[in-house]
Structure 1
Amino acid sequence: MSVSHRPTAAADFAGYLRAYHADAIDGGDPVAEVWDRYHLPDGTHRVNGRVWDRDKILGSLRSRRSLGAPYELYIHEVTVEGRRAAARYTISTPMLGKIQSATEAAVFAELAEDGRVARTTAFSVTRPGWSGRERDEPFDSAARPAPGTSPASPPAEGEEPTPAQDPAHYLRTYYAAGYDVTVPVAEAHDRFHTPDALHQVGRKVMQRSGVLKALEEGRKLGHTYPVEVHETLREGNRFAARYTTSRDGNPERPQEVFAFGEFAPDGRVRSVRFALDPGYDAA
């Protein structure tokens, strides 16, 4: 890939992810040059709640390149709104036979005027896995919103917004209703989700019956999940959000969550995937 044809993050965020990883892992240019090609040198970057300075990032890139191992990049979802972007992807590296080391990642990025990445907040966890597992999820061609899709129309004056009109409203009101013992759990779910909605928390996949059971169990334990939304993006029928809630229902133990969802035409959510920091494994 020639320098002139490398995509910028602002022009093509999925293309940036592919080009950056190719140059950083397989390329021959110095990693410092590769990093600065796609990112502002003085940008701010946080991974799993910790700030990574430029030296730490470059050290990690050198370590990965020194392995000399092939990799496979699967881009599951990309959402772009203005000069902000979010993506969820997996990088797999063969280990032995069909066993792979899979790094599951999610990133929220702010894009600079020159097209490079100015700031990132990321989630990353590496686990062993099986070759081909990531192919069970959409990637690349299915990573973007479906053509011609859009959320429901904005609410009229005085009308309560629907989830599709405001991802932050969806998160706050769904968590509140879900753990409010005065609201039937079925109503709490169906108010915000289609009957066939898919929920994925970490590696645990749940449909309606599983979500209702989890809500009932949480209520019995007296769990509460206050929600502080840090940023949301919306593009077509897709949304992405980064927020903080409690870990295991304990408000004294904060838990950062990265959510990626898809709206149905009626404004409810038909799929949502939650990536949580490595301190929590829902597998």
Structure 2
Amino acid sequence: MNATPAEDLAGYLRDYPTEAVFGEEPAELAFDRYHVPAFEQLNDGILLDRERLIAHTGPARKNVTALTLDIHDTLVQGNHVAARYTLRTTMRKGPVLVSTIWMFGELAPDGRLRRIVSTSRTEPVQEPATAQAAADRITPSTAG
């Protein structure tokens, strides 16, 4: 069994997105492992509930090819959590999305998340690795 966010917040930050996007089990099972049924997330002023977050996993499972996470800070204090991390998302078609996220949360008595308030800063879009590699190639000079 995976640890709850209360037991290992960094583990939650790494494991939940991977399970939700790349897991073979239904998204609801991955979601419920880490969040209570009445979970809410206020992200950049947009309130998301369980249904909306689970619905988001369908397009993510179809379009995301890789996720990398750099965890900068985590804190668990009583029934509150906080984290700062950078998420890099490689899309099947299109750019690599890079977002720095500041997350503050409230835990339920069982250690799962009850509520998250987060804000993010999306950095300038990065070209996919293949396009960047092509752009980095040195073109022979035709000047003579």
- 1: CA distance between counterparts of 2:11 and 2:82? 13
- 1: CA distance between counterparts of 2:99 and 2:111? 26
AA matched with 1:38: Y
CA contact 1:7–1:19 (8 Å) conserved in 2: no
Relative CO higher for 1 or 2, CA cutoff 8 Å, sep ≥ 6? 2
AA matched with 2:86: T
Following superposition, the deviation at residue 100 of structure 1 comes to: 2.5
- 2: CA distance between counterparts of 1:103 and 1:39? 22
Following superposition, the deviation at residue 95 of structure 1 comes to: 5.6
Q: Deviations over 1:167-202 (max 9, x none)?
A: xxxxxxxxxxxxxxxxxxxxxxxxxxxxxxxxxxxx
Normalising to structure 1: TM-score of the pair?
0.41
Normalising to structure 2: TM-score of the pair?
0.77
| Secondary structure of 1:15's aligned partner | helix
Q: Which residue of 1 aligns with 2:16?
A: 20
Picking from 32, 37, 44, the partner of 1:41 is 37
CA contact 1:84–1:111 (8 Å) conserved in 2: yes
CA contact 2:64–2:91 (8 Å) conserved in 1: no
* Max Rg structure: 1
Q: Where has structure 1 moved over 6 Å in runs of 4 or more? A: none
Unaligned runs of 5+ in 2: 129-144
Does residue 48 of structure 2 align to residue 91 of structure 1? no
How many residue pairs match? The answer is: 125
- 1: CA distance between counterparts of 2:122 and 2:59? 15
Identity rate of aligned residues, in percent?
Answer: 34
AA matched with 1:78: T
- 2: CA distance between counterparts of 1:69 and 1:95? 6
Q: Which residue of 2 aligns with 1:121?
A: 117
Unaligned runs of 5+ in 1: 132-283
AA matched with 1:52: L
| Secondary structure of 1:70's aligned partner | strand
